Amino acid sequence: MFGALRRHMGRLYRRLLWWLSYKKIKASEYSVETAIDADDIHSALRFLEYQQYKYQWHFQVERFVFRPDCRPADPDKALTLLVGIHKSESLLSHQCFYAGISAIYISIQQKDSVSLDGLRPWLFRQAGLTSSEQIVFSPHWRNRECPYKQIISARACLLQLSLAEGRAAAKTIESIGNANLRILNAMPFREISADVLYRSTTNLLRGLLCLSFNRLGCHQLCNSLKRLRIELDCGRYRRPVEEAKENHLGLLIEVLDLVELAMTSDSQSLREKRLSIMINMASPGITEGALDWLDSLEPNFLSDS
Average pLDDT, the chain: 91
Q: What is the mean pLDDT of residues 69-96?
A: 97
Tell me the pTM.
0.91
For residue 29, pLDDT over 90 is answered with yes
Distance from C-alpha of 303 to C-alpha of 183, rounded to nearest angstrom: 25
Question: Where does the pLDDT of residue 132 fall: very low under 50, low under 70, confident under 90, or very high at 90 and above?
Answer: low
Q: Let me know the angle formed at the C-alpha of 102 by 101 and 106, rounded to the nearest 5 degrees.
A: 120
Question: Where does the pLDDT of residue 56 fall: very low under 50, low under 70, confident under 90, or very high at 90 and above?
Answer: very high
Question: Where does the pLDDT of residue 137 fall: very low under 50, low under 70, confident under 90, or very high at 90 and above?
Answer: confident
- pLDDT value of position 8: 63
Instruction: Please report how the helices 59-66 and 41-55 are oriented relative to each other, as an axis angle in degrees rounded to 10.
Output: 130
Q: What is the mean pLDDT of residues 277-295?
A: 93
Question: Where does the pLDDT of residue 299 fall: very low under 50, low under 70, confident under 90, or very high at 90 and above?
Answer: very low
- pLDDT value of position 9: 74
b/e 218-231 (16+ beta carbons within 10 angstroms → b):
beebbebbeebeeb
- pLDDT value of position 301: 46
Please give the C-alpha separations between residue 282 and each of 122, 210, 278, in angstroms, as whole numbers. Answer: 23, 19, 12
- pLDDT value of position 217: 84
For residue 142, pLDDT over 90 is answered with no
More confident residue, 5 or 255: 255
Instruction: Give the number of other Cβ atoms within 10 Å of residue 253's Cβ.
Output: 13
- pLDDT value of position 302: 46
For residue 214, pLDDT over 50 is answered with yes
- pLDDT value of position 2: 61
- Asked if residues 278 and 187 have their Cβ atoms less than 8 Å apart, the reply is no
For residue 247, pLDDT over 50 is answered with yes
What is the CB-side half-sphere exposure of residue 109 using CA atoms within 13 A?
15
Going 178 to 184 to 185 to 186, the CA torsion angle's sign is positive
